[in-house]
Structure 1
Amino acid sequence: MKKPFLQATALVLTVALLPATTSAISAVDANTYREMEQFMSVFDRVRTDYVDQVDDADLIKGAINGMLGSLDPHSSFLDARDFENLRTQTDGNYGGLGLSVTMEDGAVKVIAPFKDTPADKAGVKAGDYITHINGSLIYGGSLDEAVEEMRGKPGSPIALTIVRPGRDKPFDVSMNRAIIDLKPVTWEVKDKVGVISINSFSNDTGADVKAAITSIDKSLGKKPLGYVLDMRSNPGGLLDEAVNVSDVFLSRGEIVSQRGRGKSDIERYFAKSGDAANGLPVIVLIDAGSASASEIVAGALQDHHRGLVMGERSFGKGSVQTLLPLSNTSALRLTTARYYTPSGKSVQEGGIEPDIMVPQLSDPDYKTRPRFRESDLRKHLINEVKLEDDVLEEDAKDDPRFTETAEELEKKGIEDFQLHYALQTIGRLGPDGLKVAMNKASAKKSAKPVTAKN
C-alpha cells in the first residue's frame, strides 16, 4: 500500500511500496544515449586509470547519489545499510541520542532534538553543527557513518563537540546514550488546560491524540478550558497520520491536497464529521523545527480558523517522498509530490506563519542562534511565491511586547515561555475571545501584500 511520507530528514523513514518500472528507459532520445555513453567512458577510465584501485559498486553508488543529489535534499538512494538504519529507526528501540540530523557541506547539522531524549536534556539545539564525536573529527564523512557513531549501548557515555552559530568558540556536550523509544503523543494538564505534545507522526498518532483528549477530560473530571497542541521540533512523518490528527479537531472540509507532476495528479484529503475536542479553544505551537506533517496539521487548523497558531515560522518542507524498491536490499527515496493547505497555499520554503509570533524567551540563545529551515538547504524545491529573507527570519527580530530575559523568567519559575504564553492566552480569552483573535489574525494576513524576490 502506498504511504506518502513527510519528513525533514532522511534519517527517519517509512516504506511506501510501489512497483519499480523501466518504462522511462524506452522514452530516452538519442542525445540521452550519447550522454550515457559518455558516463560509461568516464566510469571505465576511473576503473582503469585512477591512482588507487576502486570498487565498482562504490563508483555506481556515488554516481546514483550524485544524480539524486542534483534534484533536491530529500531524494536519496538506500542500500542494504540504509535499510538496516530504516528498520532500527522505525522500531524506535535503539541506543542513541534522539537527534534528527542532516548533512550540509560535509558537516553534520542538527535539524532538531527529540523531546526528553539525551540530546534534548543536554541542550543540543536546532542549527547546531556536530564536528567531533568523542574527540574524533567527523567532518567530511558520510551521514550514515556519523549516525552509527552516535548510536551505541544504552548508558554508554558520549561527548559531542558543537559549533553553534552566534557563539565564538566550539564547546563540548557530554551525555549518556539511552534507549530511544519515542512516544508519538504525550499529554498533561496545566492551569486547567490540556497540553498534547506530538513528537512524531507514526502509526496511530491520530488515535493517540484522540485518546489524550479523553484522558485529559477524565483527569480533570470535566472539560478543560482548551487544548495546546505542541508540535515544536517535530520533523514530521506519515501523511495519513497528519490527516488523522487534523481530523480530530475538524468536522468538515479539506485538510490537505497532494499534487504531483501532472495536472490531473491531485489527491485530496477531507475531514470526517465530528470534533473530538467539542469546539473548545485550540492553540497550536510550532517553531523552526516543525516540519512536513506538523505543517499540514498547523495549516489545516489555521485555514479553517479552528486553532490559533503561535510560536515561530515553521521549517517549510512542503514535499512528499515515496520509497520505490529497486531490489530486495535497495530502494529509491524520491520526491513525488508537493502538498498544499486547504487555502491552496504551498508551505515549501515559506512554512506556516504563526497568527501570533511568540519568541522562546526562556532560551538564552534565541536572539543569536540562526534558524535553520528548508530554504537553507541546497537544491531545495522552489515555491511559486518567494518570500524575502528578512520575512523568513522575522522571528529573530525584537518584539516590544516581549522584553523579559531568560534569567528573569527563570526566577519566576517559567522554563518554557512559549507554552506559558499559550496557557495564559487560553485562560485570558476563553473560547469566544480566541475565535475573535483567530478572525483578526486571518484578516491581518489577508491584508498583507505578497513580496517576491527579483
Structure 2
Amino acid sequence: MKRTIKSLVLLFSIVVVLFPFALSASAEPLDEVRQLVRDYYVDDVPETILSKGSIKDITKNLDPHSVYMTAREYQGFMNGIEQKIVGIGVVLEEDLKGIKVISVIPNGPAARGDVQTGDVITHVNGKSIVGKSIQFAISLISGDEKTEVTLTINRVGQFAPIEKKLPREEIMLPNIEAEMLGGNIAYIRLNSFATESSKEMNKAIQSLSGADGWIVDLRNNGGGFITAAQDIAGFFPNTPNAFQLREKNSKPMTYPSTIQPRKFNGPTHVLINEYSASASEMVSATVKEQKAATLYGQTSYGKGTMQAMYGFDDGSVLKMTTARFYSPGGQPVDEVGVKPDVLTKKEAELEVSHHDQLLIKLKGYKQLPQLVNVPVNKKFTVEMNTKMNWKNIDKAAIQLIELGGREVKVGVEVANDKTITVVPNNTLQTGKKYVLVIHPLYKNVQNKPMKQGVYLEVSVK
C-alpha cells in the first residue's frame, strides 16, 4: 500500500513520518500498523502476531523499543529528548522489575525527596508500571506543574517498598554543560542529542578555546536525534564517517559526519557508562574505530537500533524499530555495546580521564612518591637539593589540581633557602584525589633554572 509522506525527520535513531489517515474518535489505525510492521520492521514478524486484536498487543511482541504512544505519551517522549519537562527530575530506563532511575537531577523534586540512582519505580499513583514501556511510565509521572505524584519504589537493601509523594515542577535541564578543569583541560557534558546540540557544542568549544585537552562526557546520555549524532561526530578530527545503517531487505549504508567549523584540537577523551545508549553509542563507536578519541568508562548500554515514528491524525504515534546501526566499519553495537579503551570503576571515569590528560602535559616531569590518606588541612613541604632564590616566586610555578575538578588556589610560605611550604587556601575535599605540580620555573641562587619539573599524586582520607 503506497503512502504519501508529509514530513521526514531523522532522529534518535528515529524517523518521524506523518500519515493522513482518517480515524474515528475511538478507532485505532490497526490495519495500517500491521502493514507498516510487515513492510518496515527490522525483522520478519509472524502473521500470528500481526493478527492480534490491538496495536499494543502487536508491539509488545516486538522489541522493547517498539511501542504505540498516545498523543500525550509522544509529547512527553519528545520533551525528554529536548530536555523540556515538567516532572520530578529523574532520568529513567526500562527494567524487568519496573522503571529504573539512572540519574537524579540536582535540586529537583526527586533529589529533594531522596530518590536515588538505582531505585526501581514499580507503581505511579498506585498503578503498576511493571512490564510497561518507559513512555507509558513518563506519561504517568509527568503532569501539570504544581500537581503531585506518588511513586512506589524498590531500593536495594530495603526489604519493604518505599513510597514517595513528590511535586511536579518545570525542570530546567541544560543540554550542554561546559567548564575548564584544572590544568587547562576542557570538559563538555552532553546530556541529550537534541535539535540544538550542534550549535551548543560549537559555542562550548569556542568558549573553551586554547584548551590543552578535551573530555566529552556521554555518561547517562540515552540518545536523541540521529542527525545530532552525525553533527557531534563532526567535531572530532579525522572522523569522516558517522555510522552504518542496515535496514530490512537493503544493503548497508554508511552515513558521513557533518563537517563542523571547529574541532577538538588536542588529546580527546569520551566518557561512557552502562547508561550511554543509542546516539551516544553511535558517536562512541565511530570515534573509537577512527581513533579520534580514547573512550573511558564501562561498556555502553547496547541499543544499536533505529526507530521510525509514524504519526496519525489522532495524534497517536507508532515508534518502531526499522534498522540496526553499526560502526562505520561494521562493528555491531546492538546488545553488545561499545567497550571503552580504558576501563574504569563506576563514577571514576572523569577522575581517571582528567588524571591521564594531565600526565600527557607533564611528560618529562619527575614523579614523586604518592601521598595517601592525607588530612583535609594538609600542607605540602617542598625541599630542593640546592639553595634557591625564592624572592621572585612565580605564581604559575605551583599548581594543586583536583582530579575531575578545578585548580585549588594555594599560598607559598618560605621556610629557608631550600624549603617552601605549599598551603591550600581552602580545605581539601574528603575522598578526592589531587595532583601537586612544581613546574621548572624556579631558579637557584646562581640564577640557574630547575632542570626538571616534578609532580606527586595525593589522595585525601
Q: TM-score, normalised by structure 1?
A: 0.64
Whole-Å separation in 2 of the counterparts to 1:204 and 1:23: 31
Secondary structure class of the residue paired with 1:338: strand
**Cα–Cα, structure 1 residues 151 and 264, in superposed 2: closer, same or farther, change >3 Å?**
closer
Question: What's 2:203 paired with?
Answer: 211
Asked whether the equivalents of residues 193 and 225 of structure 1 are also in contact (C-alpha less than 8 Å), the reply is yes
Question: What's 2:17 paired with?
Answer: 17
Asked whether the equivalents of residues 138 and 146 of structure 1 are also in contact (C-alpha less than 8 Å), the reply is no
Asked whether the equivalents of residues 151 and 177 of structure 1 are also in contact (C-alpha less than 8 Å), the reply is yes
Asked whether the equivalents of residues 93 and 180 of structure 1 are also in contact (C-alpha less than 8 Å), the reply is yes
**Cα–Cα, structure 1 residues 67 and 272, in superposed 2: closer, same or farther, change >3 Å?**
same
1:326-345 correspondence to structure 2 within 5 Å: 326-345=312-331
Question: What's 2:11 paired with?
Answer: 5
Whole-Å separation in 2 of the counterparts to 1:37 and 1:161: 35
Question: What's 2:235 paired with?
Answer: 248
Whole-Å separation in 2 of the counterparts to 1:34 and 1:351: 31
Whole-Å separation in 1 of the counterparts to 2:100 and 2:48: 35
1:158-237 correspondence to structure 2 within 5 Å: 160-165=151-156, 168-171=159-162, 176-191=167-182, 192-217=184-209, 223-237=210-224
1:325 aligns with 2:331: no
Secondary structure class of the residue paired with 2:121: strand
**Cα–Cα, structure 1 residues 17 and 431, in superposed 2: closer, same or farther, change >3 Å?**
farther
1:130-149 correspondence to structure 2 within 5 Å: 130-133=121-124, 136=126, 138-139=128-129, 146-149=137-140
Question: What's 1:366 paired with?
Answer: none
Answer 1 or 2: higher relative contact order, Cα 8 Å, separation at least 6. 1
Amino acid aligned to 1:77: Y
1:356-435 correspondence to structure 2 within 5 Å: 356-360=342-346, 417-430=348-361
Q: CA deviation at 1:71?
A: 1.5
Task: Report which of the two has the higher share of helix.
Answer: 1
List per-residue Cα deviations over 1:132-171 (Å, max 9, x = no partner): 457x463559556643443345566666443234655544
Whole-Å separation in 1 of the counterparts to 2:91 and 2:69: 18
Q: CA deviation at 1:172?
A: 5.2
Whole-Å separation in 2 of the counterparts to 1:18 and 1:169: 46
1:344-363 correspondence to structure 2 within 5 Å: 344-360=330-346
Any unmatched runs of 5+ in structure 2? 1-6, 22-31, 39-44, 365-461
Whole-Å separation in 2 of the counterparts to 1:290 and 1:246: 15
Deviates more, 1:118-127 or 1:245-254: 118-127
**Cα–Cα, structure 1 residues 78 and 26, in superposed 2: closer, same or farther, change >3 Å?**
closer
Which of 77, 91, 99 is 2:90 aligned to?
99
- Among the aligned pairs, what percent are the same residue? 26
List per-residue Cα deviations over 1:34-90 (Å, max 9, x = no partner): 969986xxxxxxxxxxxxxxxxxxxx5xx2112112110111112333344346546
**Cα–Cα, structure 1 residues 84 and 355, in superposed 2: closer, same or farther, change >3 Å?**
closer
Any unmatched runs of 5+ in structure 1? 8-13, 40-59, 218-222, 362-416, 434-454
Give the paired residue count: 340
Asked whether the equivalents of residues 152 and 161 of structure 2 are also in contact (C-alpha less than 8 Å), the reply is yes
Whole-Å separation in 1 of the counterparts to 2:50 and 2:335: 37
Q: CA deviation at 1:330?
A: 2.4
List per-residue Cα deviations over 1:273-307 (Å, max 9, x = no partner): 765222x0111111111101111111111111111
Whole-Å separation in 2 of the counterparts to 1:427 and 1:285: 16
Q: CA deviation at 1:216?
A: 1.5
Whole-Å separation in 2 of the counterparts to 1:171 and 1:37: 40
Asked whether the equivalents of residues 68 and 77 of structure 1 are also in contact (C-alpha less than 8 Å), the reply is yes
Whole-Å separation in 1 of the counterparts to 2:47 and 2:251: 33
**Cα–Cα, structure 1 residues 152 and 99, in superposed 2: closer, same or farther, change >3 Å?**
same
Whole-Å separation in 1 of the counterparts to 2:46 and 2:186: 61
Secondary structure class of the residue paired with 1:66: helix
Whole-Å separation in 2 of the counterparts to 1:27 and 1:182: 35
Asked whether the equivalents of residues 97 and 130 of structure 2 are also in contact (C-alpha less than 8 Å), the reply is yes
Decide which structure has the larger Cα Rg and report it.
Answer: 2
Question: What's 1:269 paired with?
Answer: 256
Which of 45, 48, 59 is 1:68 aligned to?
59
Question: What's 1:303 paired with?
Answer: 289
**Cα–Cα, structure 1 residues 173 and 195, in superposed 2: closer, same or farther, change >3 Å?**
farther
List per-residue Cα deviations over 1:307-351 (Å, max 9, x = no partner): 111111111100000112343422321111111112311111111
Secondary structure class of the residue paired with 2:333: coil
Asked whether the equivalents of residues 72 and 139 of structure 2 are also in contact (C-alpha less than 8 Å), the reply is no
Whole-Å separation in 1 of the counterparts to 2:65 and 2:358: 41
Amino acid aligned to 1:76: V
**Cα–Cα, structure 1 residues 159 and 188, in superposed 2: closer, same or farther, change >3 Å?**
farther
Whole-Å separation in 2 of the counterparts to 1:266 and 1:231: 25
Question: What's 1:259 paired with?
Answer: 246
Q: CA deviation at 1:257?
A: 1.2
Secondary structure class of the residue paired with 1:3: strand
**Cα–Cα, structure 1 residues 33 and 424, in superposed 2: closer, same or farther, change >3 Å?**
closer
Whole-Å separation in 1 of the counterparts to 2:37 and 2:219: 45
Secondary structure class of the residue paired with 1:249: coil
Q: CA deviation at 1:270?
A: 3.6
**Cα–Cα, structure 1 residues 355 and 334, in superposed 2: closer, same or farther, change >3 Å?**
same
**Cα–Cα, structure 1 residues 15 and 182, in superposed 2: closer, same or farther, change >3 Å?**
farther
**Cα–Cα, structure 1 residues 342 and 151, in superposed 2: closer, same or farther, change >3 Å?**
same
